[in-house]
Amino acid sequence: MKKLIKNKRILVPVLILIGLIFCATMVNAALSDPGTVGDPLVTLSYVEQRITETKEYIGEIVDVLLPSINNNSTKIDDISQENIELKAQIEELKGKVSEAGPSLEVIHLTKGDILTCNAGTEIILRSGKAKAVGSELGGLSDITGAVDIQTGSDIPLNHLLIVPRSDGRGAVVIEDAYIMIRGEYEVN
């Protein structure tokens, strides 16, 4: 029986303390404004207020960004138009290039082959060895070296040569060679 009386002495103050905490919490909740930190319950007016603030914030952002977006849209339209114009110019230039004449052709010649060219033919020896074939009026015009290559002279690699007349000028291949050529020619 003594044990029960001892437990009642502890139990009564604990129950009183729990009751006081409960009452304090209820009083605090009753005195707080709804929708504040003290009142965790959210009211319709609080939600509507937050929605209105969010709409206003989004409106401000749109007002700031919209002119920039419209300006970029105009720039995109301008770039698109410029792109169309440039494509048309490229196509026009492609036509002019094809009208200008054929592109360089790569030919393989073997030892002993004789290359005879017409006037205006361009020659570039890429590999091997070849000697110039000229005429009584001169040799091959070496544009790269700014010299006239006479009959029997070695043709240097990677030099642009132009045949000035259709009078039998060209090259004799001494060692198998690759030649880039543009214009009319004959191989014997």
- Structure token pair of residue 7: 């437990």
Amino acid at 62: V
pLDDT at 22: 78
User: What are the Cα distances from residue 134, in Å, to 35, 82, 87, 125?
Assistant: 104, 52, 45, 16
Question: Residues 105, 110, 111, 115: is their CA dihedral positive or negative?
Answer: negative
- Structure token pair of residue 150: 């006479």
By three-state DSSP, how is residue 114 classified? strand
Mean pLDDT, consecutive 10-residue stretches, the chain (188 aa), reads: 58 77 74 62 79 84 72 77 90 74 87 96 96 94 95 96 96 97 94
Provide CB contacts within 8 A for 49, sequence distance 6+: 35
- Structure token pair of residue 155: 């043709």
By three-state DSSP, how is residue 157 classified? coil
pLDDT at 7: 60
User: What are the Cα distances from residue 94, in Å, to 87, 91, 144?
Assistant: 11, 5, 27
Predicted structure pTM score: 0.49
DSSP-derived letter for residue 101 is: -
pLDDT at 173: 97
Q: 86-141: per-residue pLDDT in tens?
A: 999 988 888 776 665 668 899 999 999 999 999 999 999 999 999 999 999 999 99
pLDDT at 60: 81
Q: Are strands 114-117 and 170-182 parallel, antiparallel or unpaired?
A: antiparallel
pLDDT at 64: 75
* Domains of the chain, start order: 27-56 (no CATH), 105-187 (2.60.120.10)
Amino acid at 128: G
Amino acid at 32: S
- Structure token pair of residue 147: 């010299």
pLDDT at 79: 85
pLDDT at 1: 47
